[in-house]
Structure 1
């Protein structure tokens, strides 16, 4: 491996006119010297594309891919990833920020890891609001982010992975497949499929800042009688179906039952009763597998 392997940062913008410049500058300000930045805008209906074009005047070597129609995060990332040349990928939302040494620490961890089949590294993050005001630390001491074979941690939701502070080896995408374009959100599905085959390593440092906005994707999980909420819940059900197939032990089936209980509360709160029924049927299927 070369001394400074190329890292591809794919920055996806959708109605991020107020934040995109901070995200892009955080990539340029990295202490790591070998970075390829690819910007893609998912047909924003605000001024995001113009803000990006203005920024590109001083950075003409950066690739910009504007979508003519809204494709969603999964398709938008996959299209950009096909053009990426890096050995490692970072998926950066345009309202988030990488701290100066983020990529340096991630590459160092890959280089010096004791794990032979390391596919992903992840760190801690700060949560902040639309006014750049600090909210909290993601891993605040109660959680126990793990390293190594963390498949059970991923499926049980005992500790969530910070996607914004993650770096994924390109080989992982090539082996397990890129983001599932049928899903409304991408990270959990990739973590599940990747952690079944690869080791992950946690970096106990704050590496990035994630912006919490009222219209963030996570806020839609609990919205009532909402089509976007229903799509999110259907995606969760699809991921659960995959997990049941990937599980190998009774312990793992018990772990996914724990996560199903957590998701059930969200389904009920959002009054998505069709998804509640589907989840109950999946839970019965998983429960049966704990007996044999």
Structure 2
């Protein structure tokens, strides 16, 4: 048997555990981090100015785990900036952006590190299936619909170059991501001018890096009534401006007519939502971007006329 020193060292994995008013879920979330079978972990507990007692709970976990890092932000700065403040102090070769209302299954890190390494150095991010749960932790469904034999019904663009698919539709379950450190560094971390991070990360990272899908269920994602998706285009939606900015950035990154057509598919959907919820200014911006893709239809033109009638 070879000496222990001859075995390759496990790469360090950073888990940035982001909290904002997650007091009801912190214990389950952080217990799932502590229960990981993977040993070489660097954990950052980051609280984005919670007001519900979360900070006291995070202090308790930091006391119980002296090797974990605790970062309590004095004012709310949003997910992107809060994540970056921990990321740029971290050292992990691979990084997980972990919301403290979700749950990691015990083999999550170990299985995902092994998978990501198998894909080679151009794999900038790996992702997998999640079990969706409600506020009480009850199972709702899997993120990817499966048939009776457990096979995913709608094919996932699992391997390699997925830039066009990222533009066309949402297909990645965000809490399942493990990102390569070099990928995040190349992007300068998350864009702190945006209200949310995942769409922009997918667009910018997939231009130069491969994404790979791992057909396993390794995370439980909590669906809450106040989630981002439930607020999209409703009054006070803080995310729509970031979506438009990311779409504008995506257009600049497009290199082929197929990629521009893929972006047009997304813009067309966003335009319909803007008109549906009477966002006149946003509808105009989205139609202008759609026109720049060269894929405007008669229906799109009709929507642009309708948007001008909105109050």
Partner of 1:100: 106
CA distance in 1, matches of 2:294, 2:209: 26
Q: Are residue 87 (structure 1) and residue 99 (structure 2) matched? A: no
1:13 corresponds, among 14, 19, 37, to 19
Contact 1:88 1:167 in 2 (8 A): yes
Q: Are residue 75 (structure 1) and residue 81 (structure 2) matched? A: yes
1:85 match: secondary structure: coil
Gaps of 5+ in 2: 1-6, 146-151, 297-311
| 1:44-101 superposed Cα distances (whole Å, 9 cap, x missing partner) | 1111111111232322221110110100000000011011110010000010011111
1:49 corresponds, among 34, 52, 55, to 55
Query: Residues 135-284 of structure 1 correspond to what in structure 2 (within 5 A)?
Result: 135-140=140-145, 141-145=152-156, 146-157=158-169, 159-223=170-234, 225-226=235-236, 229=237, 231-284=238-291
Larger mean Cα displacement after TM superposition, 116-125 or 12-21: 116-125
1:57 match: secondary structure: helix
Q: Are residue 128 (structure 1) and residue 111 (structure 2) matched? A: no
1:196 match: secondary structure: helix
Query: What's the TM-score once normalised by structure 2's chain length?
Result: 0.88
The 4+ residue runs of structure 1 with deviation greater than 4 A are none
CA distance in 2, matches of 1:266, 1:50: 40
Query: What's the TM-score once normalised by structure 1's chain length?
Result: 0.93
| 1:74-131 superposed Cα distances (whole Å, 9 cap, x missing partner) | 0000011011110010000010011111111111012222x44111111000110001
Contact 1:130 1:211 in 2 (8 A): yes
Q: For the pair shown, which has the larger CA radius of gyration, 1 or 2? A: 2
CA distance in 1, matches of 2:62, 2:188: 31
Larger mean Cα displacement after TM superposition, 139-148 or 255-264: 139-148
Gaps of 5+ in 1: none
CA distance in 2, matches of 1:105, 1:133: 24
2:16 match: secondary structure: strand
Q: Tell me how large the CA RMSD over aligned residues is.
A: 1.7
